[in-house]
Structure 1
Amino acid sequence: MRVYLLIMLFFSGICFAQNTITGSVTDSNKQSIPGANIVVVGDNTGASTDFDGTFKLSTTAKLPFSVKVTAIGFESKIVNVTSASQKLIVVLKDEETKLDEIVVSASRTPERVIESPVTIERMGIQEIKNTTAATFYDGLENLKEVNFNTSSISFKSVNTRGFATVANTRFMQLVDGMDNSSPALNFVLGNLIGVSDIDVASVELLPGASSALYGANAFNGIMFMTSKSPFTNEGISVYYKYGQTTQNAAGTNDYNDFGIRAAKAFTKHFALKANFTYMEASEWIANDTRSMTGGSVGHDMNQNYDGLNIYGDEVTTFIPNVGQVSRTGYREQDLTDNKVQSMKADFSAHIKPWANETEFILQYKIGTGSTIYQGANRYALKDFLMQQGKFEVKGKNFFGRVYFTSEDAGNSYDMRFAAWNVNRAAKSDQEWFTNYATAYQYAGAVMGTDANQSASIARNFADYNVLPAQISFIPKPTGAARFEPGSAQFNQALATAVANPDLTKGAKFIDHSKLYHSDVNYNFKDIIKFAEIQVGGSWRKYVMDSEGTIFTDYDGPIEYKEYGAYAQLQKKFLDDRLKFTGSLRYDKSQNFDGNISPRVSFVYSAGANKNHNFRLSYQTGFRNPTTQDQYIGLDLGPFALIGSAPENLDRFQETVNVSAAGQAAGQPATIGMSGQNAYRNAYTVASVQAFAASANPSDLQIADIGLVKPEQVQAFEAGYRTVIQNDLSVDLNAYYNIYNDFMNTARVISPYYGTVGTDPTNPAVQQTYQALAFGDRRVYQVYTNTTAQISSFGVGIGLNKKVYKDFEVGVNYNYSQFNFDQSEDPDFVAGFNTPKHRIKGSLGNAKVIKNLGFNVNVRWNSEYLWESSFGDGMIPENTVLDAQINYALPKWKSVIKVGATNLFGSDYLQVIGAGAIGKMWFASWTINP
């Protein structure tokens, strides 16, 4: 309702005396150019062409005046306007190559792609229109150097140059200058609070390190999404998409996506804009049943079975004379409704008070929805909400902005804890395992059953309180039978668990975290002439507020701050053929030492037309430990996650119960543990396992865990871009990265009592042997840095050519690899999660015949290893074919598009533990007057 009221307000107000001109913009083949900008020279007034290349521009400028017409991929043109009734017919000349497109992000100043000092990918309005994916964001996967990690149909994270899980904390995403990262999670939740398909103007992506200009976390890549200005893109635009998804596990389900954009420039000084989108679909169901504990799939032949996407069976114990046994779990699809929703809106006011380019922007964005996120566990994000508010002032050579981001976890919950506590609502773990052990032993002793038969009888008794007649004399349990999925008991137990933030009884997590950020930048190019010099800086504050459910903020929110400053000099030499760019940035986080990030690059333009461009760059990147790396204090049951901020080691406190054997040996019934135990008094997991097998104390190794500190990368990159015979564009690049202090997690085991050590004669050390033998021990996952030397390297090749009239063929290849010596850190898990080989191809024509266009994309990747805290495994090689056809209806100001993804392919994986990706077809109708 608020959206419609705002739209009505757009068209109310004072009328001014204006001249209104109309016209059209076409290319040399008389094909319309959508998204061309028409701006009155010397004024702020502007407009843009719609899908059929027509425009209407209203201005208070007095006749005669001139307009400048620009479009990506075409040469600009200035046209004189002498009459209000004059209809402009503008024909733009092709620039022939996408390498002449203008980008800003590479150096914080406008420059041609071909002259960029680093590798850069761009998606403009025409590419957005032609994407074969259901949304422009999904279409990013077809860009060179981009690999997606798909956790959900609506949650895809961008992976560039490796070392990325679904939670990609090494990649930044900015929307209109605002960081889209979750304040608590420190990574981007896809396009949850991003840009609508009908409001996005351009996307620029830098796949390498960019900390010299953009600070912490611009480590392996950064993406910039820019929305359309209401001064140049007015009117009401609407789209609707309907489609269906098909997956082996989920079947065939509907997909709906709707969006509306309203923008009005009331005068050349004041404009308003509003967007609203809503999407709903069914999830790619995750149903991987592989056993995480080895052995057969299912409890029939494996009494300690732990299925990857089955939860509750992680609860396990060792029973004497029986073996290791796990409880019966529930499938992921039993624990969530498998529905995906996304709703986002944004509102902005734009003011240009003077005749120059200075603009004030006040913007508010909100996004909410339901999806699935995979971290250490699988999380159902239900009614998750993020908000952003921004005030920005920008001009020709400067900008300054302040913004905030806040989030609310809503009704989100951990599906693994949900399963544990649904099980416990029926029967406690202690009673369940006692029932199992009793029935197992009686079955063997009385009935003479073998191990598998005994295990089946025992599980049936523990789950359903049912026994064979021969041993029916066993006392009946006090607990209820297992709750079957879909039953009233199951639904009630699940509802109770997901509403309770106490993880010993429930699964809900609370999050009201926030961040506050400011940026400033000034370019002295109109003041200092010998070189282009820029300076800038940023400041940020994190406020963690989980009420003790995620962080150790039991007594109130935890806050910490970061700030940074940078300078850049850019100058051309040798008849403007050699461009030098040098940048230097200093960043300081409250909890860590300051970090200096330099960047130096050279671009040389050879050839008579300067169209052979060679580039060489050296830059550094760094990543501060995330809020979770520092302040998490989360008991996950079998282990606890402990952040390594010095104060957090004391903030995390828990009480553990000592075994009867330990008490008999003189220990108290309960003992207090803290984060200090995890980092200061623990053995490595591998050595404890060896000790359990050998009983030899010399097998034990002290876990030498350092507190986490920022990780760093040195990035060397070389590249070449050119245009051959006016229609073949070539883009080559190679990079080599050296990582230092690479952040890592490690599992350690801390005994409840005693002091870890290597002297077996020391009584305090001997106590730790007892604790381990009695099972009086705690597993922790801690955050630290590896001492291993890690490097990665890669090569990229991109070719684009017009093969016949306007038919364009593109192909690109990427090779990615990493190296490190495992012996330097045996427990280190790299998590590179990137194919060694990737090939992408495209064939398209925006105007096969009048108003009809099409595009086809194909992607192939080689097999690769996926590693994460949730699960490891091989991702098979796969080939994916996407296609779309679109038809413009100029009379209706509309474009009809029909497309399909994963045509002719079977379900395929991108993330171990997530649902396999199936097929999708869609049809959309976009009205853009």
Structure 2
Amino acid sequence: MKNLILAFFVMLGGLSYAQTTVSGKVIDDSGQPVPSANVIVVGKSEGTVADFDGNFTLTTNEAPPFNLRVTSLGYTDAEVTVTANNQTLTVTLNESSTMLDEIVISASRTPERLFESPVSVERFGLKEIQNTAAASFYGGLENLKGVDINTNSLTFQSINTRGFASFANTRFMQLVDGMDNSSPALNFVLGNLVGMNDLDVQSVEILPGASSALYGANAFNGILFMRSKSPFDFQGISSYFKTGLTSQEAAGDNPYYDVGIRAAHAFSDKFAVKANFSYMQGTDWFAVNQTDLSNPGADRSNPAYDGLNVYGDDFSIPLNFDALAGLPSGTLGSARVTRTGYLESDLTDYDAQSVKFDGAVHYRPFGDDLEIVWNSRIGRGSTLYQGANRYYIDNFSLQQHKLEIRNDNFFVRGYITSENAGDSYDTRFTAININRRWKGDQQWFQQYAQTFIGAKLGIGSGLLATDEQAHAAARAAADTGRLLPGTPEFQSAFNAVTSDGDLTTGSRFIDRTKLRHVDANYNFSHLTADFADIQVGGSFREYELNSQGTIFTDIDGPISYSEFGLYTQIQKQFLDDRLKFTGSVRYDKNEFFDGFFSPRASLTYTAGENRNHNFRASWQTGFRNPTTQDLFIGLNAGAAILVGSAPSNLDRYSITLPVSPEGQIDTGLSNVTLTGRDAYENAFSASALQQGRIEASNTNLVQPEQVVALEVGYRGQIGKVTIDGNVYYNQFNDFISQRNVIVPLYGQVGDNSLSLQALGNQDTQVFQVYTNSLTEVESYGATIGVEAKVFGDFDFGINYTWADFEFDQAADPDFRPQFNTPEHKVKASFGNTQVFKNVGFNINYRWSDTFLWQNAFADGDVPSFSVLDAQVSFAVPSIDSIFKVGGANLLNQEYFTAVGTGFIGAQYYVSWTINP
């Protein structure tokens, strides 16, 4: 026994003697630490990861001498030799001049080199986030090729790729640490209003084009992934303070503030936590366009004046002055008259605010083999949103809570998203109902007509007025005593209207919709690597619509429905790993529609002696389920009533409308009740009527939209020059669209003359219905980008995007494609992170071509524009700080990206970031 014990301790001593410990620090070429660098023993699976300060310690059984390979995203690899035990090393990584080795996850749901991705991917990493000249990292995404950002307001920017989008971009998905960041009720992303703190972003990936095969219905025309920093890898307290001003001709110069803090700590190798908080406050871009939509070029003397950013004047009726005065037809004539409206600036304070908090607990019970994460995100903000109307989103909040279990081979996550519209309201109905609270429509129009008739006939004055004089006198008389902005009476009415959720008397919209989502993925690569990489996954989602009848037809209680999906993917490499095949298929089922398969296949080939040329081709299919609004909306937006086309929704919405005196003579009815079913089954085509034709509108109920996408591309590295380009073609079927129809208050369209009499008497109601286009839609485009090191160590990049579409308008005259994308775009960047010691700069320029904007609020041309952003940064290593001075739209050449929004001015800023 004694001999055995002695032998054991001798063996233990021998093992201890064989162990080698190496410590060191990883820095960049400016001496700054490189956090989370990988340190691996060459030829072995042993390794470690540097901490936040770049420090590492590695213990191995390997005896010196041996080599370590040190790698980090954005840097070239370094290899150093260990010659002795307890050696201390300093490893310098040089900034990489190529994107080839950057790792992306989005394209295949598994880590792979961007160079070998089977589809187009745009990546925005730590370096790009730090050096962006935009006021935020989210705004900096606009400089990526193929990416459009439609600016709705200061705090709401909507990302779009490859066309067909408005601010309600329901064809684009945004994931934050795997959670869909879309509003559950609106089905689109509110930019980064309630998203991620700048300090916590590790990387952003944008996958343009169809991605349904792996990500389901909403990943139809693009998807954005935001990944946050792990508290194990990025520890400490960091913060930023940013201030400056926004400058706009309409709004003047206004200050804004943006502050944030991040705290993370690993208490052990098993337990770590983090928390983030940010607050942004500013003044939004004023929208002051008073162009008359009913008669562009006319002034406000037009009795039917309907200003673009003037609300309340959208409510109008035809006045037959001859009939009202009992005079022969043609004596005084008739006119459509609108009530007097209020400016948008009378109806909102343009306060822009964003408050975001998130926290996470990470637990690794068995080391790196398993990680359990609880993550909560809570955001609140105020912004302007433009849909069918202009909405002031005031104190809107969104919460997301996630539980995830994961390791290198699988994840299972479940999360819930809930939102609260807060004090949000519709500016158009605010104006309409302030007018009505002061004086009812019937009384106002009666006074208008009486005054006009009297002026034309010279009653009282003895002078016969012209039409223009009579209309001016009539409006002045009807408006006598009108509530004026700035008075206590106006404010009292405003407060009452914006707190009332009944759109017949108020303008507030209520939304407490929830979304529950579970998804899982298992990667069998560790088991099947000798054959192929295989993974399977699935998801389940449930919506609970709760607007209390202010958005949806849920006046009698919440509406719930669900959908699920299953997918699998296989990747196989051939020809010395130069050729890679990727194939995947997904099956999705929504409870209202038949199930749908969306397959995808791609090939990539790596050529060249140094494997520095990669060619790719992909065939993808995608689908998009109708949104919650497409199915269950029931909203009187003033210009039209929006009604969804879920079969159960057709009779859920109803409205009672008055019949004109002429119609009462024809029918004996004083009021008529219409339902959503009338909009789909008894309506005239609005576009045909505008062209002088009378045609029935036979509207089918909405079905899922489908796309087939083809893409070929090339990525390559030639010396210090990186090239990335692609050409794509999309073919859409059952393209989901909205169309306006005209429902007669009486009569059956096509069956009798009563419906035609309703048209003649203007006893009609405009509805906006949700359906599928009758025509096939095609879109196509190309992007090319070049990045290079020039003049030694300066970064230069330039890219060009071309996008276009076509369809047969004659096959579907009512179809409005809403492509909303310029045909040509050019973007360029130039900078250096170390032009002098601790001094860097970056300049971004972008030019956008003229394009047609189509949206429910208004249509029109968006003129071409050029924008210059720039920043200069100063690093102070002794206090772990970077100071930055910059400006977005530095030259303050005001522009807009959508008709109806405020012009975008300049945003100047200074910032101080502390990141130890």
Q: Which band: TM-score by shorter chain?
A: over 0.9
Q: For residues 21-51 of structure 1, what are the alpha-carbon distances to aligned partners after superposition, in whole Å with 9 as ceiling and x for unaligned? A: 9854334x455365453579889985544xx
Q: For residues 267-289 of structure 1, what are the alpha-carbon distances to aligned partners after superposition, in whole Å with 9 as ceiling and x for unaligned? A: 00000010000000000011111
Match of 1:478 in 2: none
Match of 2:715 in 1: 721
SS of residue in 2 equivalent to 1:679: helix
The residue type equivalent to 1:434 in the other structure is Q
Q: For residues 850-876 of structure 1, what are the alpha-carbon distances to aligned partners after superposition, in whole Å with 9 as ceiling and x for unaligned? A: 111110000001111111010111111
Work out whether residues 23 and 58 of structure 2, in 8 Å CA contact, stay in contact via their aligned partners in 1.
no
Deviation at 1:194, TM superposition (A): 1.6
Greater alpha carbon shift after TM alignment, 656-665 vs 812-821: 656-665
Structure 1 residues 305 and 608 mapped into 2: Cα distance closer, same or farther (>3 Å)?
A: same
Match of 2:684 in 1: 683
Q: For residues 695-742 of structure 1, what are the alpha-carbon distances to aligned partners after superposition, in whole Å with 9 as ceiling and x for unaligned? A: xxxx421111000011111110000111112x1001111001101110
Match of 1:414 in 2: 426
Structure 1 residues 40 and 264 mapped into 2: Cα distance closer, same or farther (>3 Å)?
A: farther
Distance 1:30 1:927 in 2: 17
Q: Structure 1 vs Structure 2: percent identity of aligned residues? A: 51
1:397 partnered with 2:409: yes
Q: 1:808 aligns with which of 792, 795, 798?
A: 795
Match of 1:477 in 2: none
Instruction: For 1:87-98, list aligned pairs within 5 A.
Output: 88-98=89-99
Distance 1:638 1:913 in 2: 15
Match of 1:786 in 2: 773
Distance 2:624 2:73 in 1: 34
Instruction: For 1:128-147, list aligned pairs within 5 A.
Output: 128-147=129-148
Structure 1 residues 43 and 752 mapped into 2: Cα distance closer, same or farther (>3 Å)?
A: farther
Q: 2:727 aligns with which of 731, 734, 742?
A: 734
The residue type equivalent to 1:283 in the other structure is D
Match of 1:198 in 2: 199
Greater alpha carbon shift after TM alignment, 734-743 vs 422-431: 422-431
Structure 1 residues 915 and 47 mapped into 2: Cα distance closer, same or farther (>3 Å)?
A: farther
Q: 2:475 aligns with which of 435, 459, 483?
A: 459
Q: For residues 616-674 of structure 1, what are the alpha-carbon distances to aligned partners after superposition, in whole Å with 9 as ceiling and x for unaligned? A: 10001111100000000112234211100000001112223333333333433333321
SS of residue in 2 equivalent to 1:456: helix
Match of 2:499 in 1: 499
Distance 2:794 2:358 in 1: 37
Q: For residues 389-445 of structure 1, what are the alpha-carbon distances to aligned partners after superposition, in whole Å with 9 as ceiling and x for unaligned? A: 000011111111000100000000000000101111221111111111111221222
Distance 1:549 1:62 in 2: 68
CA RMSD of aligned residues (A): 2.3
Deviation at 1:774, TM superposition (A): 3.0
Work out whether residues 43 and 355 of structure 1, in 8 Å CA contact, stay in contact via their aligned partners in 2.
no
Work out whether residues 213 and 566 of structure 1, in 8 Å CA contact, stay in contact via their aligned partners in 2.
yes
Match of 2:224 in 1: 223
Distance 2:862 2:579 in 1: 44
Work out whether residues 809 and 844 of structure 1, in 8 Å CA contact, stay in contact via their aligned partners in 2.
yes
Distance 1:868 1:635 in 2: 17
Work out whether residues 22 and 55 of structure 1, in 8 Å CA contact, stay in contact via their aligned partners in 2.
no
1:888 partnered with 2:875: yes
The residue type equivalent to 1:623 in the other structure is R
Match of 2:9 in 1: none
Q: TM-score scaled by structure 2?
A: 0.92
Structure 1 residues 918 and 531 mapped into 2: Cα distance closer, same or farther (>3 Å)?
A: same
Instruction: For 1:828-867, list aligned pairs within 5 A.
Output: 828-867=815-854
Structure 1 residues 312 and 47 mapped into 2: Cα distance closer, same or farther (>3 Å)?
A: farther
The residue type equivalent to 2:474 in the other structure is A
The residue type equivalent to 1:770 in the other structure is Q
Q: 2:346 aligns with which of 328, 334, 341?
A: 334
The residue type equivalent to 1:881 in the other structure is L
Deviation at 1:227, TM superposition (A): 0.3
Structure 1: stretches of 5+ with no match in the other structure = 1-18, 465-480, 692-698, 760-764
The residue type equivalent to 1:808 in the other structure is D
Work out whether residues 64 and 80 of structure 1, in 8 Å CA contact, stay in contact via their aligned partners in 2.
no
1:774 partnered with 2:761: yes
1:754 partnered with 2:747: yes
Match of 2:72 in 1: 71
Match of 1:26 in 2: 27
The residue type equivalent to 1:199 in the other structure is D
Match of 1:653 in 2: 654
Distance 1:60 1:236 in 2: 29
The residue type equivalent to 1:714 in the other structure is V
Distance 1:634 1:507 in 2: 11
Distance 1:927 1:80 in 2: 34
Match of 2:488 in 1: 488
Match of 2:100 in 1: 99
Distance 1:851 1:205 in 2: 31
Distance 1:307 1:86 in 2: 76
Match of 1:55 in 2: 54
Match of 1:821 in 2: 808
Match of 1:169 in 2: 170
Deviation at 1:217, TM superposition (A): 1.4
Deviation at 1:494, TM superposition (A): 0.8
Work out whether residues 577 and 606 of structure 1, in 8 Å CA contact, stay in contact via their aligned partners in 2.
yes
Match of 1:14 in 2: none
Greater alpha carbon shift after TM alignment, 131-140 vs 430-439: 430-439
Distance 1:43 1:777 in 2: 76
Distance 2:389 2:247 in 1: 26
Work out whether residues 47 and 233 of structure 1, in 8 Å CA contact, stay in contact via their aligned partners in 2.
no
SS of residue in 2 equivalent to 1:808: strand
The residue type equivalent to 2:368 in the other structure is N
Match of 1:9 in 2: none
SS of residue in 2 equivalent to 1:455: helix
Distance 1:794 1:777 in 2: 42
Instruction: For 1:402-551, list aligned pairs within 5 A.
Output: 402-446=414-458, 447-464=463-480, 481-528=481-528, 529-551=530-552
The residue type equivalent to 2:860 in the other structure is G
Distance 2:710 2:523 in 1: 26
Work out whether residues 72 and 102 of structure 1, in 8 Å CA contact, stay in contact via their aligned partners in 2.
yes
Distance 1:294 1:617 in 2: 48
Structure 1 residues 170 and 524 mapped into 2: Cα distance closer, same or farther (>3 Å)?
A: same
Match of 1:157 in 2: 158
Distance 2:47 2:261 in 1: 25
The residue type equivalent to 1:610 in the other structure is R
Work out whether residues 298 and 307 of structure 1, in 8 Å CA contact, stay in contact via their aligned partners in 2.
no
Work out whether residues 625 and 709 of structure 1, in 8 Å CA contact, stay in contact via their aligned partners in 2.
yes
Distance 2:377 2:59 in 1: 32
Distance 2:689 2:234 in 1: 65
The residue type equivalent to 1:331 in the other structure is L
Deviation at 1:63, TM superposition (A): 13
Work out whether residues 715 and 735 of structure 1, in 8 Å CA contact, stay in contact via their aligned partners in 2.
yes
Work out whether residues 45 and 232 of structure 1, in 8 Å CA contact, stay in contact via their aligned partners in 2.
no
Distance 1:329 1:30 in 2: 60
Distance 1:259 1:610 in 2: 43
Distance 1:657 1:64 in 2: 93
Work out whether residues 687 and 813 of structure 2, in 8 Å CA contact, stay in contact via their aligned partners in 1.
no
Structure 1 residues 60 and 257 mapped into 2: Cα distance closer, same or farther (>3 Å)?
A: farther
Q: For residues 335-384 of structure 1, what are the alpha-carbon distances to aligned partners after superposition, in whole Å with 9 as ceiling and x for unaligned? A: 00111000010011000111333111001000001000110000000000
Distance 1:486 1:35 in 2: 55
Deviation at 1:463, TM superposition (A): 1.1
Distance 2:476 2:415 in 1: 57
Work out whether residues 270 and 363 of structure 2, in 8 Å CA contact, stay in contact via their aligned partners in 1.
yes
The residue type equivalent to 1:604 in the other structure is Y
1:796 partnered with 2:783: yes
The residue type equivalent to 2:523 in the other structure is N
1:919 partnered with 2:906: yes
SS of residue in 2 equivalent to 1:192: coil
What number of residue pairs does the alignment pair up? 875
Distance 2:886 2:856 in 1: 36
Match of 2:8 in 1: none
The residue type equivalent to 2:413 in the other structure is R
SS of residue in 1 equivalent to 2:294: coil
1:306 partnered with 2:299: no
Structure 1 residues 328 and 149 mapped into 2: Cα distance closer, same or farther (>3 Å)?
A: same
Structure 1 residues 119 and 689 mapped into 2: Cα distance closer, same or farther (>3 Å)?
A: closer
Q: For residues 120-157 of structure 1, what are the alpha-carbon distances to aligned partners after superposition, in whole Å with 9 as ceiling and x for unaligned? A: 10011011000001110010001111111111011000
